[in-house]
Each structure stands twice: as structure tokens, then as C-alpha cells.
Structure 1
């Protein structure tokens, strides 16, 4: 009968002492224990009578356990260098290998038994990456990252200190050190591994002539632009400094299949160590993507640009470049011996590169702030997401001036802005033709329509100035794996398509709840639901959001308001935010700015708890949106929920709540005042759409979703009136609790009795309600034994 074990694949370096070689074991499978006993191995006294084995250094295990078995797939470790044997045909013999001496053959057959075992081993690759992806997916569902402002770690501060102390200018570019965890870094000789990876790359390039040409052009471009250099022969022999060879491979952007990027594998391990392991990552200096997009929606005139090969514009000190070595064939001739090259700049694939290059970009702004406008300096610090710059302003003149400033400012740090695109031809005309987006090539800016491009992954119809979605069915199997691949590939950073996408997420959660295998066919009932949803993907191409939150000709904004709506169902909960603006003519306009939703946990949670979680999400949205918007005027925030229980929670001053409620109420109170919270009926609550979902057709037609309920454009006296609810509970009230149906009832010691649930926990009724008064009267007629005070009136 076969059996299976869980194992992990690792790489090791082994030796048997200072007089032996170090052997790389690239594929070692772990096991809790190797079932080899000490009786299976020879003892020193057992070979004492064998003179031909005397004088050699044979290791003896004694009482130690065997910790490693080396198989025939590592011939370098087992290749005989010397053999000692006696005259007996079947006697033991010793073999010297690169790891030292070892003993072979029987020494003492007394007490041994024979056992024949036929074993077949099959290694099955587990869905480790997929499981991690799902784990992150559900972890993201269960947590809120909107207000996740964290300080720097000790290692982050160490990296910053290295950069601040080691920064210099080299040939018009910033030069920054690789932030090693220790000096020098502890890196084994991994050239053999780089050679293996190069041969693997050769096989791949040999099958695709077009790929081979593009790859060769990419290497030549690195050398031509000074991003890489050849290592001289005498330097190749030197071992005075840390050396590391980087495997490399081609990567294609899914949206740009013709563009090849050579990526260096800094995570590749040799001897259990990778270059990334030895380097500090550095602090996260990248602006929040949602923040850059929100600011991109503020002004009527928009433009965007891209830093050309941003990582390659920041140089590495000469003394550290040997940890960035790589192998390549001269002139791309794969029949020749490869030569040694090294990168001179920070590179794609280095875990430290994003932080390092963002530091250099910000340093450019700081070092030149006295020569450029404060607005241009602030744009460099706030409006870049890695190498993408997105800006929106109030006028074309301002856009022209800022684009010119930004080009000149970044040139001071060796950065060049390219791929310029704007919704205004006058701005584009101010940019040199060769620096504009390739999509503008051949267009007459006076006559032709501007193209559709992507702004941080979001589809931007530049001519119509709308943000949209290009969703199309993918050819994936109808399995849980296939569905996850499609759902996780949908890009919706600001949540505008949230109600539509929610339906697919709910289906995926249901398959998870059913514990359906990754490659099991989706049951017919769920298959029909999925096919119905996927058929609507094409219809989502017609769903659009105006890029600018202000309508054309709206003029100067004199007042800003943020309105946040929260809602929950048994399936999901979420919040949606609207920016309401008033102009000099007292006209009001409302626009959807951000939405966020989470699926309800797999473990059932009561509706009041989910409603409270939704309200907490609304409070966090307020903090996040205010932090990211660039407005000088104060923004007044209003919060809306259709849960009177949540309003009671928020307004309670004497209530002592359990941990779940207490933590969320504290978050709400830290971000808002109780007076800012209002009631909205479900019919007017747009957050209802992200707690239940919508079809593509419904989403396209929903003005409530895109602009909010109509009352947002009305004076406050026309806002929804709150229904009559109970007064806040007093200290003397009988231990109130919320039951499974979301109704407030009496708690207390009766919960331990054998009474029926309704008798143990009677409902608490409001005394001023016109229905409750007759009930109280009847109860008093029957002389309630607990006394009149227990009627809570």
C-alpha cells in the first residue's frame, strides 16, 4: 500500500571539514526523520582487524542519527577519487570522494536480517503558490488596509541611513549603495547555477528566433547605455570581494506583448541563500495607487508620463557591482563560451530597487526645490506611482507650465519623462514629438480623436475623458482554479465596478465553502450562475465613470462635502463614498469617488455585526479619501447607514461592549463624531448595491450608484428623517443583548435557565411607541410579578 508525505524542496551546500570540497545540492527533499539506525553502520572496532583500512580518516556515526542521504543524481559528491580494498572478494572497501572517506560493503553480518523493498517515488507539486494566493485573497477580504499607516522598521531605518550617508552624483545620475544586511555579504559561489540557468535560457531562445533576437537586442541595449559592462578577465579571477551571478529571463507585459523586459532573478537561491536574502528591502516609499488615481480625477485638465527605465537611472558604486554579475554569450552567439558581465545600475528583480529608486526620485525634488515651483516639487513627491506620473490641474496653461517644469526638474537627477499623454491637444503640442506616447504617432492633434490608454492599469478614453473597463471572458476551465484566475485578474482599484464583481466573488466563496477541489468541475447549478455572469463581461465595456469629478464648466469649487454610505447583508458588507461640490453659483454636483466591500466571513456572523463592520469601513474610507485629496478648503463629512442598531452603538455613551463591537466603535469614534452619523432608508442607500451585487445592465443605468441618492443635491432639511428609536440604554437596564435576529432583548442570569429562548430573553420595547403603550397597559392589568419597573418604560 502506498503512502505519501509532505516535503519541502530546498538547496544545500555540504562539506565534511576543512580538507574537503563544498558540494551544492540543488534539490533536497526534507523528511522529519530518516529511518536508518546506528546498527546499520560500521563501528571503529569492527574494522580494527583490516590493515588496508588503517591510516585513513573514516567517520563513524556512533549514536548520532543520519541527517542527509545523497543520491546518484549528485555524481560530483560520489565520484571515487581513491579506493582502498582488501584481497577478499566480498570484503568491505573504502572510497574517497570530494566529501572524504566512506565505507562500503558488509563488515559484520551477525544479527542482521535481509528485507527487500521495492519503492517508487513520485513527487507531486502542491498548489503552494495558489494556496498562498487564496490565503492572501481571503486575508484581504477580512481586513481593512485603508488606514494602514505604519512606521518604519529598524531595518527600514538602517537602509535609509545607508542611502543618506552613501548618496553621490555620478555622470548626472544619483549613485546609491546596495543596502546589504552585513558587510561583506555572505554569498556562496553560485556560478555553476548561473551556468545551468543560462543553458536553460539557451534552449528556450533556440526554439524561438524572434525571442532570441529581442533578447540579444535587450542585452546590447544594456551595454550601449552603460547600464551593464563586461568584467575584465583578471577581475574574473579575483576573489577579494563578494561575488554573485544573477540568472536572467525574459518577461512580457500582458498588455504589451511586443515589449520584452530582461529581469534578473535576485530571488534565486544557491545553498539556501539568494541575493535578496542578503539585502535590506528598504522602506515603502511608493505612494498609494488609489491616492494617485483620486488626485488624477480632481482637475479638468489631465496629463500623464512615464520615467524611462527608472531603476536603471540610479547607479551602483563600482565596489558593489560584482554582486550583480551575469553571464551572456559574446554577440549573442550561443556556440561560444559565455562571458562575464555585471550591472552598473539598480535592476528589475531586486527587492530593494523600488525603495532605492523612489528615494532617488524624491531626493531630486528635495535637492532642487529652490529652483522650481512648490507645486512641481510636490507632484514629484505625491503624484508618482513608481515610474508613472499622473496629474490633473485646473487649466491648460497650468498644465503646460507644470509639464515643462517636471521635465527639467527630473533631468537634474538623471530621470527622463516620456510617453506623454493629455486630454488637451495644447498640452501635447508643448511636448517634443519623440517624448509623446507612441499611440499619438501619426495623429493630427487638431483633427484626430485622442486614443484610449491605461492610467495605472485603468482604461482611460482620453478623447471622451472617461475611465472604463476592458473585461473579456478568458479561456479558462470551469473549475475553482479557473474561476479564481479570472476573478483575481479583474482590476478595479477604486471599486467602481464593485457591485458587478461582487457576484463572482460570492460564487467563488460558495465553492470554497463546499470544499470543491481546485480542478473539480463546477457543479451544474453554479456553472449556470458563472456563465450568466461571464456573458455580462462584454457589456461592462459600456460602463464608464467621468475621469474628472467636476462636470465641464462647473467653475470654482467653494465647498466640499464627503458622504459615506454603509450597508451589509448576510453575504457581504461595504461602504461607498461621494464627493459633493458647491460652486460660486451655489450649484451642487455629486460624484462617486471610492467604494470598498468585503465578503461576509465563511463563519456565519449576525447582521448587526456586519452592519457595524460596514460602518467602520465607511469611517476608514473617510480618513483615506481626505488624506489623498488635494484641496485647500476643509471637507465636511457625513455618514449614512440604514441600521438603527449601529446608530445606537455609535451614540451610546454608557454602553460597555464586547471586544468585537468595542474595537469597531472605537475606530468610528476616532475618525468621526456621533453627530455626523445619520439614518438613510435602504431604498436610498447606494451601499446596498455592494452588499448584494448588481448585473452589468443595472450598473450601467444606475445614477444612484454613480452620483449617489438625489437628496445629496438638496438642502439639509430635505435629507431623510430618522425613524423613532429607543433612547440610549441606562446603567440600570437589564443587561441588554442583541439576539440572532438583530433584535435587542434582556440578557442576565436567566440565560442559564431551562426556559424557552423567548422566556429567557424577552424583547426590549420602546416605551413611547404607539403600539407598545397598549402592551404595557395590558401587562399591568395582569400584574406582572416582577414589578412595574421591569417593564423598562
Structure 2
């Protein structure tokens, strides 16, 4: 029992005094942020890493040759990476102090944007038994916890969500640190191997979340009060925010887009619980084509949940009877998040599910069941406002 409660209990303390590593945050002539890698030791201690990166790449190349479709997606990802200026071929002499990142891919078929993502790995040990991640500082958490953001989101009568496009890759890394982010690549196996340097913050490194979220904190120090407040509702690259006035919410949108774009951040995957909040958003920038007046029970994934803007509720999908190994991995990786979700409904156990009528679902005779947990809707004042097509712009709490 003691172990059960220790697993389910939400963390009560947060280390607000974690030392902020020096990243020399600055903005270039285009307004984009540039940072130094937050290293706790001189990278000269790393040793040699190129041979391992080459071996890993050749193994990956052989694997992709057996899967033409995956190879095509992989090559397209790398080509886009280069065409956007996020990496550049090294044609001069590589400095003696360097680090090569091995690479692999992950598949996410449910993603509406990137089905295949290339991941660059900073954790392999070099000839000196040290990795780049070993000498990186993680940095403190600069954003509010998920639970607080979701609670604030439920207070708003008019709400919207969005996601910053390729957020990590919108923050440049200083030129001298590019050589700690080298990769091996070639389009075809009959070509010579080429070396490239990654010019932006690289997802997969220990320090990656801190500099990019720190950039948002810096952006919030502006003369745009509404946008600055909305930035506090970001969880990494996802934002869920709003207000109790439709007119104010539209203004928040405009300020937020302008402020983010000034630093090269482009907000995509827009979704909202009122059509007016999407009227100025191009269809290509929306998460899905949803109308708050249609009868479809659809939703968008955000912050680990599914939000249905039409019914304006969150939905949690759980699966009974998963294979033990997969379930164990799910529990280990998602326990904290799932417990936070459950707190919103007052559910004491994270594996309880309920249907729309509030009745609990149980596994079927085969031991498998995929059900959904619907979290509470907003107050009734929003429903009235939405039914009146936004004529009642402000709701009384």
C-alpha cells in the first residue's frame, strides 16, 4: 500500500532554485534567438565519436535499403532539414574538438504533420567513455506544470490551442558549438559520406528543452500584455489559452501570432471552441477541419489528451488488456501525466474510465476494452454564448 500511494501521489515540492546555465541568449538581425550549448565541462574531454556515428549510419542505411518507403521519408526529412537552413555541409577542416551524433528514426502514424521523425542521439559514449549529454546542463523548468495549465484552460469560456512549428529548430546554436552537433549523411550508398553540422537546438540532447522554453520567457518580457500572459500557458511547444471575452480572445490571438513571429516562431495546428477564433486562420494552419456546429465527435490531441472543441471537453483513451511489456512501458512513462489527468475528474485510480453518461466501463469478456474518460465541461455560460453565435461576448462566472 505504501508503494501504491507513493506512485499515485502528486509531487509536492518543486526546485525553484535550480541554477540557470549560461546560454548567452541573444537575438540576431532577423529577430531569431541564438544560444550557446549549456556545457558544464570543456568539450575537449569528449574524445573521438566519428567512427561510432559512421558505423551506426551504415547499419541504418542497410536497414532502410530493405524498406524503400521508409528510406524515401527519411531522405525527405533530411533534405527538408537542409533546405530550411537547419543544417549545413562541412566543406572545410573539422575542428579537433567535435562530437558526431548517431541517428535513428521514430514513427508516429497518428501525427497530423510528421509521420517519421529523425532523432539525433547525444548519449553514446566516445572513446573517452563520455557523451555530449554527460557534459550538458539540463537547466531548470521554466514553464508551469501541466496540471496548472489545464486548470487555467478550463476557466476560459472562449479557448484555443496551437503548436509552434518545429520549435527546437527555430532557435540557432552559436557557430562554434555547431561542431558538437555533427552528423554523417549521404543520399545514396554509392556516394561518399558527407559531414554536416546542425545549426539549431537539437531535439534529443539533454539541454534541448531549456534554451527553447527560456526563449519564450524572454519573449514574454514585452509590451504586449495579453500575449505575455498567454505565453505562460505554453507547455513546451503547445499552448492552450483563452479568456471569457470573445473580443479579447481574438486580440490575444493576434498579439500572440505577432510576438512569436518576431522571433521566427510560427504557430500552427490551431483549434478553438468558437468559429470566429478560426475565421482568420488558413485551413492549412488548422489541426483539423472542425466546425463547432457539426455533429462529428472528433477531437485534437494536445498535452497528452484529446480535446473536442465542439463538445468542449477533454477525452482520455485507455486500453485494457494490453500486452504486459507495452503496458509496463506505458505506466512508467505516463504515470505522472495520467495521475494529473485523473485529478481533474476527481478519479482516484488512473485506470478508471467512464462513458458520457458517467457510467464506468469495464473490460469485455476477452479482457480488452478501449474506452474514454470525459472530463468536465466548461460552465453553462459558455454554452449559452456559443449557442448565440458569440453575441454574448462575456460570460459571468
- Provide the TM-score with structure 2 as the length reference: 0.84
d(CA) in 2 for partners of 1:486 and 1:252? 17
Offset of 1:178 from its aligned partner? 0.5
From 60, 66, 73, the counterpart of 1:207: 66
From 282, 291, 312, the counterpart of 1:465: 312
1:306 maps to what in 2? 163
Offset of 1:434 from its aligned partner? 2.7
From 93, 99, 123, the counterpart of 1:235: 93
From 8, 11, 14, the counterpart of 1:149: 14
Check if 1:545 corresponds to 2:390.
Answer: no
Check if 1:353 corresponds to 2:208.
Answer: yes
Instruction: Write out aligned runs for 1:403-418 (5 A).
Output: 403-418=253-268
d(CA) in 2 for partners of 1:399 and 1:533? 48
d(CA) in 2 for partners of 1:166 and 1:463? 41
**Contact residue 178 and residue 279 of structure 1 kept, 8 A:** yes
Aligned residues: 371
d(CA) in 1 for partners of 2:43 and 2:318? 49
- What does the per-residue CA deviation read over 1:577-617, in whole Å, with 9 as the maximum and x for residues that have no partner? xxxxxx97xxxx9xxxxxxxxxxxxxxxxxxxxxxxxxxxx
Q: Which runs of 5+ in 1 are unaligned?
A: 1-136, 505-529, 557-582, 590-793
From 258, 261, 274, the counterpart of 2:131: 274
Q: Which runs of 5+ in 2 are unaligned?
A: 354-361, 386-394
Offset of 1:169 from its aligned partner? 1.9
- What does the per-residue CA deviation read over 1:214-247, in whole Å, with 9 as the maximum and x for residues that have no partner? 1100100110001000001x323x43xx211000
Offset of 1:534 from its aligned partner? 8.2
**Contact residue 304 and residue 422 of structure 1 kept, 8 A:** yes
d(CA) in 2 for partners of 1:552 and 1:535? 41
2:271 maps to what in 1? 421
Instruction: Write out aligned runs for 1:107-256 (5 A).
Output: 140-141=6-7, 144-145=10-11, 147-153=12-18, 156-157=19-20, 159=21, 162-163=22-23, 165-232=24-91, 234-236=92-94, 238-239=95-96, 242-253=97-108, 255-256=110-111
2:228 maps to what in 1? 377
Offset of 1:399 from its aligned partner? 1.6
**Contact residue 418 and residue 436 of structure 1 kept, 8 A:** yes
Q: 1:251 to 1:502 in 2, by over 3 A?
A: closer
- What does the per-residue CA deviation read over 1:669-726, in whole Å, with 9 as the maximum and x for residues that have no partner? xxxxxxxxxxxxxxxxxxxxxxxxxxxxxxxxxxxxxxxxxxxxxxxxxxxxxxxxxx
Offset of 1:140 from its aligned partner? 4.7
**Contact residue 161 and residue 238 of structure 2 kept, 8 A:** yes
3-state DSSP class of the match of 1:469? strand
Q: 1:448 to 1:190 in 2, by over 3 A?
A: same
Q: 1:500 to 1:537 in 2, by over 3 A?
A: farther
1:789 maps to what in 2? none
d(CA) in 1 for partners of 2:65 and 2:306? 36
- What does the per-residue CA deviation read over 1:488-533, in whole Å, with 9 as the maximum and x for residues that have no partner? 55745321373454679xxxxxxxxxxxxxxxxxxxxxxxxx9669
Q: 1:270 to 1:148 in 2, by over 3 A?
A: same
**Contact residue 292 and residue 309 of structure 2 kept, 8 A:** no
3-state DSSP class of the match of 1:340? strand
1:262 maps to what in 2? 118
The structure having more radius of gyration, on CA atoms, is: 1
Q: 1:428 to 1:152 in 2, by over 3 A?
A: same
d(CA) in 1 for partners of 2:210 and 2:245? 33
- Provide the TM-score with structure 1 as the length reference: 0.44
d(CA) in 1 for partners of 2:53 and 2:191? 16
From 303, 308, 314, the counterpart of 1:456: 303
3-state DSSP class of the match of 1:405? helix
2:147 maps to what in 1? 290
1:398 maps to what in 2? 248
1:493 maps to what in 2? 340
Q: 1:270 to 1:547 in 2, by over 3 A?
A: farther
d(CA) in 2 for partners of 1:224 and 1:503? 47
3-state DSSP class of the match of 1:305? strand
Q: 1:230 to 1:547 in 2, by over 3 A?
A: farther
Q: 1:138 to 1:273 in 2, by over 3 A?
A: farther
d(CA) in 2 for partners of 1:179 and 1:427? 39
- What does the per-residue CA deviation read over 1:367-423, in whole Å, with 9 as the maximum and x for residues that have no partner? xx12x2x2221211x100000000131122222111111000111111111111001
2:198 maps to what in 1? 343
d(CA) in 2 for partners of 1:310 and 1:231? 24
**Contact residue 103 and residue 120 of structure 2 kept, 8 A:** yes
**Contact residue 364 and residue 409 of structure 1 kept, 8 A:** yes
1:630 maps to what in 2? none
Offset of 1:356 from its aligned partner? 0.6
Offset of 1:168 from its aligned partner? 3.4
Q: Greater relative contact order (Cα 8 A, min sep 6): structure 1 or 2?
A: 2
**Contact residue 474 and residue 486 of structure 1 kept, 8 A:** no
